Each structure stands twice: as C-alpha cells, then as structure tokens.
C-alpha cells in the first residue's frame, strides 16, 4: 500500500486529493493546523453526510497537527510517516492578501517548500519519496507569451507570485542537485463547490445564490476585466497524481486552454441562479443590473483592486495532454459554473440573511 502525505489537506485541492488517493487504495496522511475554531469543514460539512462518515471512518486516513513554518514538526512528521509521495499544497494562497502579509506569505509559500525538501534530504528519503509542489500560473504574472506553456518566462506580480517563484526554483534545484523526484505542477485557476469563499468565482456563485433567494442585497467586485483560464479542481488533482506516476520528474502546465473574464463568469452564474444581468456604465461606475426589475445587483468596489494586477492568463496544456494522457476539457467552463451555482443554491437554502465584513 502506498503512503501519501498531503500538506494543505483542509483546503479545496487537499480535500479532493485525499478522496482521490483513498479511492486509489493509498494510506493518506494530512497535516491540519491548530485553530481556535473548527477548520475541517471541507473534510466533513461540504461532503455529503455519507461521504463525510466514510472519510472519518476510513482506517487509511490519518490527520496530524502541524504547520510548514515549523521545521522540527515537518521533520518529525516526515520521519514518522516515511511517505512514498508528498503533495505540498499548503500555502497562504490568496493573491490580494499576500500584499497585506508579504513576509508571512514568503515564510509559508517559499520557505515552507524548502523545509519539506530539506527534511526529505536530511532523512535520507531522496530515493523513496516523490514530491509534488503546487506551483501556479501566477508565476507568469505580467504575461510574456500567449498562451503560457512550460517554457514561457516568468514575471510574477504579487508577493504570492514571488514566493511561489522561489518554491518553483528550489524544487527544480533539489531535483537537479540531489536527483530527487520533485516536480512542479504549474496549475492555472481551478475552482469548485469547495473553493474558498473569498476567491472571485465562489464569491460570485454564493452571492448569486443568496441574491436569488433574497438573502443578500448586492455583490461588490473588483476588476471585472481580469481574464482567467478556469478549470474544475476535481479534474486537476488527478493530474497531480499523474505527475508523480510519470517515469521522469518533469514540470507540467495544467490548464483548459480557454479564457473568460470575471464579468462573463458573473453573468453566467447569475443566469444559472435565474437572474439575467445587463451591464451598464464603465470602469468603477460599471453596474450589473437585473434586467427584469432594474435593480442594481453588482457594483465595483476599488477596495478589491490589487496594487499590481495580472490581467490575463491562458494556459497551453499540450504537454500534460500528450505525456500524461490528461483531458483538459473534461468539465467545460459552463458546466463548472453550473456545478458551483447549483451547490450554492442548495447551501443557501439553509442559511439566514448574511452580511460580509471581510471578503
Ligand atoms: P486553499 O487556500 O483552499 O488551501 C490552502 C491549504 O493550506 C489549507 O489547508 C490551509 O490550512 C493550508 N495552510 C496554509 N498555511 C499553512 C501552513 N503554514 N502550514 C500548513 N498548512 C497551511 O488552496 P487551494 O486548495 O486552492 O490550493 C492548493 C495549493 O495550490 C496552494 O498552494 C495554492 O497556492 C496552489 N494553487 C492553487 C490554485 C487554484 O486555482 N486553486 C492554482 C495554482 C496553485 P487552513 O485550512 O488551516 O487554512
Ligand atoms: P487569483 O484568484 O488571484 O487568480 O489567484 P482570485 O479568484 O482571487 O482572482 C481572480 C481575478 O478576479 C479579480 N477580481 C476579484 N478577486 C477577488 N478575490 N475578489 C473580488 O471581489 C474580485 N473582483 C475581481 C482579481 O483581481 C483577479 O484578477 C488564484 C489563487 O487560487 C492562487 O492561489 C492561485 O495560484 C491562482 O489562482 C492561480
């Protein structure tokens, strides 16, 4: 039985990956952080009661307290678990927040990766343990080539992107220096019904559901023109695993090859929630109006603008398609939006009216 360690198991990707690996017959270990309030919803509440029960009672699923900023903890856990595969998904993953917490973001996202690589090296596991590093399309930032592929030069535009740039290169460096099987998955944005509520897609699908059910009045967004290559997270975790099963340690771009704007995402999400949006005005005065009632439902709030923006990202998944046999269009854009809105419509049915202070 293969043994995997997932950092960031309570996150969107970690929860999907844990389920995926358990289904493949792995013994799965996950690192969870101590928190003053409960932080395992994605492993329980978001799953159906049957799935949550199955996960909890699965003898092959083990959770450990830890933090990738804590070197001794990382070394102890890796030494005890002796994993065949490590998936390093832990990160301060919010780009906007990384401008407010640049040093912390670097500690977790850059040095956290180094700590894991070093632990594997120090413990003499370089031959045994394969490592997946969660790299990102944010490395491309100010785009130098369209679409972006494995050879496209990087130009990160946020403290998050810069920290992940270090993680990308240190992973590659350990591979080249010590012959480790350590690879970067350069994943473009991927979303789902388990996406964190402050990322733009989920913020929109939740708001569309709440507005449709009379539980929220308005949605405030930042840059409506941003273009992203959005895929479905459940499809992307398969690729993380495929990269570690490949004969040669190599880096891969994972993307759909299709790009849409935030405005388009919002229009479609509201449509699936039963509201037709008409856009009026320009720039910070642009508004999304309910065609049927004339009510303003979406407004721009400059508070969500970033000091430096990534205007557009479009990935070329040819290498993953060819070498890993991965299908980038398994869940098309429209289907992704529909899955998210339908899940949020069900969730919101059980909710009271909400007012968000921080999103
Ligand atoms: P999430 O933000 O949903 O999850 C991040 C996870 O990391 C959470 O489990 C969080 O724990 C954990 N974590 C944060 N800091 C630490 C720490 N110091 N020590 C241990 N665990 C920590 O991210 P996603 O699931 O969306 O993304 C997974 C990874 O992939 C991240 O590294 C992200 O940067 C990267 N990525 C994501 C993309 C996307 O579109 N989703 C695209 C490309 C890359 P807690 O629950 O306690 O906060
Ligand atoms: P991103 O995702 O920064 O691409 O990082 P996010 O959903 O936060 O933003 C996407 C684009 O939408 C614009 N935007 C808004 N964003 C947020 N969060 N809130 C808003 O109200 C809003 N309005 C407009 C943003 O300016 C941006 O252009 C995600 C994360 O998962 C990273 O960890 C990952 O590495 C990258 O995707 C690939």
Q: What is the pLDDT of residue 358?
A: 65
Candidate of 14, 16, 92, 95 to mutate for ligand 2, largest count of ligand atoms within 8 Å of Cβ: 95
Q: What is the pLDDT of residue 180?
A: 98
Q: Residue with the nearest Cα to atom 23 of ligand 2?
A: 222
CATH 3.90.1170.50 fits 3-187, yes or no: no
Q: What tokens were used for 290?
A: 């309910």
Q: What angle do CA 179, 182, 188 make, to 5 degrees?
A: 150
Per domain, the residue ranges of the chain are 3-187, 196-228+260-307+331-349
* Ligand 2 centroid to residue 199 C-alpha, Å: 5
Question: pTM for this structure?
Answer: 0.97
Counting atoms of ligand 2 from 1, which one is nearest the CA of 161? 35
Q: Residue with the nearest Cα to atom 23 of ligand 1?
A: 11
Q: What is the pLDDT of residue 43?
A: 74
Task: Give 149: exposed, middle or buried? Use CB within 10 Å, 0-12, 13-18, 19+.
Answer: middle
Q: Show pLDDT as tens, one digit a residue, over the chain (359 residues).
A: 999 999 999 999 999 999 999 999 999 999 999 887 777 767 775 567 777 777 778 899 999 999 999 999 999 999 999 999 999 999 999 999 999 999 999 999 999 999 999 999 999 999 999 999 999 999 999 999 999 999 999 999 999 999 999 999 999 999 999 999 999 999 999 999 999 999 999 999 999 999 999 999 999 999 999 999 999 999 999 999 999 999 999 999 999 999 999 999 999 999 999 999 999 999 999 999 999 999 999 999 999 999 999 999 999 999 999 999 999 989 999 999 999 999 999 999 988 776 666 66
Q: What is the pLDDT of residue 175?
A: 98
ipTM surpasses cut 0.95: yes
Angstrom distance (rounded) from CA 245 to CA 239: 10
Which ligand is the nearest neighbour of the Cα of 92? 1
**Superfamily (CATH H level) for 196-228+260-307+331-349:** UDP-galactose 4-epimerase, domain 1 (3.90.25.10)
Counting atoms of ligand 2 from 1, which one is nearest the CA of 200? 7
Element (H, E) at 63: strand 61-65
List pocket residues of ligand 2, CB cut-off 6 Å: 93, 95-96, 136-138, 188-189, 198-200, 203, 221-223, 226, 228, 262, 304, 306, 309-310
Candidate of 89, 94, 189, 300 to mutate for ligand 2, largest count of ligand atoms within 8 Å of Cβ: 189
**Ordered DSSP codes for 7-50:** ETTTSHHHHHHHHHHHHTT-EEEEEE---SS---GGGTTTS-HH
Q: What is the pLDDT of residue 351?
A: 84
Active site residues: 136, 138, 160
* Ligand 1 centroid to residue 91 C-alpha, Å: 4
Which ligand is the nearest neighbour of the Cα of 161? 2
* Ligand 2 centroid to residue 95 C-alpha, Å: 7
Q: What is the pLDDT of residue 355?
A: 63
Q: Encode 343-353: b = buried (16+ Cβ within 10 Å), e = exposed.
A: bbbebbeeeee
List pocket residues of ligand 1, CB cut-off 6 Å: 7-8, 10-14, 31, 33, 35, 39, 67-69, 89-93, 108, 134, 136, 187, 189-190, 196
CA distances from 179 to 183, 251, 255 (A): 11, 15, 28
Q: What tokens were used for 355?
A: 């007012």
Q: What is the pLDDT of residue 46?
A: 59
């Amino acid at each position: 039985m293969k043994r995997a360690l997932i950092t960031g198991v309570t996150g969107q990707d970690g929860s999907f990956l844990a389920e995926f690996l358990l289904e493949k017959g792995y013994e799965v270990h996950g690192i969870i952080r101590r928190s003053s309030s409960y932080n395992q919803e994605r492993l329980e509440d978001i799953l159906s009661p049957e799935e949550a029960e199955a996960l909890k009672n699965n003898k092959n699923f083990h959770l450990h307290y830890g933090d990738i900023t804590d070197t001794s903890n990382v070394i102890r856990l890796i030494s005890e678990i002796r994993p065949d595969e490590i998936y390093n998904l832990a990160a301060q993953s919010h780009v906007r927040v990384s401008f407010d917490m640049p040093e912390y973001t670097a500690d977790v996202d850059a040095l956290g990766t180094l700590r894991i690589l070093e632990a594997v090296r120090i413990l003499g596991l370089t031959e045994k343990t394969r490592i997946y590093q969660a790299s990102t399309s944010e490395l491309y930032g100010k785009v130098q080539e369209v679409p972006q592929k494995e050879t496209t030069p990087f130009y990160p535009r946020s403290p998050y992107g810069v920290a992940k740039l270090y993680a990308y290169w240190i992973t590659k460096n350990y591979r080249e220096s010590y012959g480790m099987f350590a690879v970067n998955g350069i994943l473009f944005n991927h979303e789902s019904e388990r996406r964190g509520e402050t990322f733009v897609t989920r913020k929109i699908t939740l708001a569309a559901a709440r507005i449709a059910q009379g539980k929220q009045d308005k949605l405030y967004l930042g840059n409506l023109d941003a273009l992203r290559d959005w895929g479905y997270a459940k499809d992307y975790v398969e690729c993380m695993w495929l990269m570690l099963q490949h004969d040669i340690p190599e880096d891969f771009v994972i993307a759909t090859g299709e790009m849409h704007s935030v405005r388009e995402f919002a229009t479609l999400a509201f449509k699936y929630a039963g509201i037709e949006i008409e856009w009026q005005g320009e720039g910070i005065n642009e508004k999304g109006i309910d065609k049927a009632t004339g009510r303003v439902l979406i407004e721009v709030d400059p508070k969500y603008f970033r000091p430096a923006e990534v205007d557009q990202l479009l990935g070329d998944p040819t290498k993953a398609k060819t070498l890993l046999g991965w299908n980038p269009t398994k869940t098309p854009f429209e289907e992704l939006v529909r899955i998210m809105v339908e899940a949020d419509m069900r969730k919101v049915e059980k909710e009271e009216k909400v007012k968000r202070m921080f999103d």
